[in-house]
């Protein structure tokens, strides 16, 4: 009996079930999959929104330019989205408002994702009191609806860029934290992490080699969801008059001020509102696509973020 054998014949899977074969094939198919049609459409919408808000300002006019001769004009070739009560071009304002909204959204989603990531990894790696403290923090955050917290903070601290980002981060870091923490704890319990420990790897080695690469896709998902939840929260704040201050345009604020004219000049409120919806749908579809691709199921946004 030869001790050395050809190993190609090491076939077979762990569990003796024939169905396993099929599952194996299914998994291969799954890995081939990309973010899916929805994901691509979402990405497309986002690219379009981003392009408009980034390039738009170079070509179009001044969002603050008033023209009292053209007040409340309906959408036309000259004013794509019509004009508002000060004769300002609604399209230009939507484009500029998008810049503010997206800047706030992206910055707060980045900060929230990083904060959630760091706290979650710390909790998963160190366990014990670190995990307990971070989890309690999340509980505290969850016990007060973020919109209430945002209103309290903003109406008392004031509503410039930093406080707005602060409350948005406060409102959305928990999502990243919980998604990543759950995943990281599962990964830390995996045998390959134990194998690394047996091989002498330290906490940071494990984090660097195994944990972070494994949470990156999830982080991408969490980021898009954070971004869309931040966007919705930001527009809600704007609507309640606690967001970016006029005359700087902001989508939520434009909806609020245009709402009174909704029967006579619906375009003032409608287009910024639709801009929020389009961007959120884009983020949503991209997030869903990423989630299907990397996580294998939906991650609910409001459920965690709000």
* Residues between 100 and 129 with contacts to other proteins, criterion CB under 8 A: none
Nearer to other proteins, 55 or 189 (CB): 189
Beta carbon of residue 89, minimum distance to other proteins (angstroms, whole number): 14
Beta carbon of residue 162, minimum distance to other proteins (angstroms, whole number): 15
Q: Which stretch binds other proteins (CB under 8 A): 47-55, 90-98, 104-112, 207-215?
A: 207-215
Residue 203 touching other proteins (CB under 8 A): no
DSSP the chain: --S----TT----SS--THHHHHHHHHHHHHH--SHHHHHHHHHHHHHHHHHHHHHHHHS--TT---TTSTTPPP-SSSTT-B-TT--BHHHHHHHHHHHHHHHHHHHHHHHHHHHHHHHHHHHHH-HHHHHHHHHHHHHHHHS-HHHHHHHHHHHH--SHHHHHHHHHHHHHHHHHHHHHHHHHHHHTSHHHHHHHHTT--HHHHIIIIIHHHHHHHHHHHHHHHHHHHHHHHHHHHHTT-SSPTTS--HHHHHHHHHTTTTT-THHHHHHHHHHHHHHHHHHHHHHHHIIIIISS---HHHHH-
Residue 144 touching other proteins (CB under 8 A): yes
Residue 302 touching other proteins (CB under 8 A): yes
How many binding residues for other proteins (CB under 8 A)?
137
Residue 153 touching other proteins (CB under 8 A): yes
Q: Which stretch binds other proteins (CB under 8 A): 23-31, 52-60, 89-97, 111-119?
A: 23-31
Q: Which stretch binds other proteins (CB under 8 A): 48-56, 89-97, 107-115, 287-295?
A: 287-295
Residue 280 touching other proteins (CB under 8 A): yes
Nearer to other proteins, 114 or 153 (CB): 153
Residue 161 touching other proteins (CB under 8 A): no
Beta carbon of residue 175, minimum distance to other proteins (angstroms, whole number): 10
- Which residue among 68, 77, 128, 129 contacts other proteins (CB under 8 A)? 68
């Amino acid at each position: 009996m030869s001790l050395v054998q050809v190993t190609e014949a090491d076939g077979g899977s762990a569990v003796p079930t024939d169905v396993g074969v099929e599952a194996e094939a299914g998994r291969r198919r799954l890995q081939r999959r990309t973010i899916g049609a929805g994901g691509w459409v979402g990405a497309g919408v986002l690219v379009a929104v981003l392009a408009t808000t980034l390039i738009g300002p170079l070509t179009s006019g001044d969002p603050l330019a008033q023209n009292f001769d053209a007040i409340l004009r309906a959408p036309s070739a000259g004013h794509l989205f019509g004009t508002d009560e000060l004769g300002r071009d609604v399209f230009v304002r939507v484009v500029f408002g998008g810049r503010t909204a997206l800047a706030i959204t992206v910055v707060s989603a980045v900060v929230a994702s990083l904060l959630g990531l760091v706290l979650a990894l710390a909790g998963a790696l160190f366990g014990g009191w670190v995990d307990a403290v971070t989890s309690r923090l999340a509980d505290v955050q969850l016990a007060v609806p973020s919109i209430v917290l945002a209103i309290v903070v903003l109406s008392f601290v004031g509503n410039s860029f930093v406080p707005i980002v602060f409350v948005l981060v406060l409102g959305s870091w928990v999502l990243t934290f919980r998604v990543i923490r759950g995943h990281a704890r599962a990964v830390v319990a995996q045998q390959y992490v134990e194998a690394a420990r047996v091989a002498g790897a330290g906490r940071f080695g494990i984090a660097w080699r195994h944990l972070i690469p494994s949470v990156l896709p999830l982080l991408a998902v969490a980021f898009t969801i954070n971004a869309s939840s931040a966007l919705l929260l930001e527009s809600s704040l704007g609507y309640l008059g606690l967001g970016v201050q006029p005359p700087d345009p902001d989508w939520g604020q434009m909806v609020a001020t245009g709402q009174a004219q909704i029967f006579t000049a619906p375009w003032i409120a409608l287009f910024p509102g639709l801009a929020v919806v389009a961007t959120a749908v884009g983020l949503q579809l991209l997030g869903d696509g990423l989630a299907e691709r990397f996580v294998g199921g939906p991650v609910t946004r409001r459920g965690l973020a709000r």
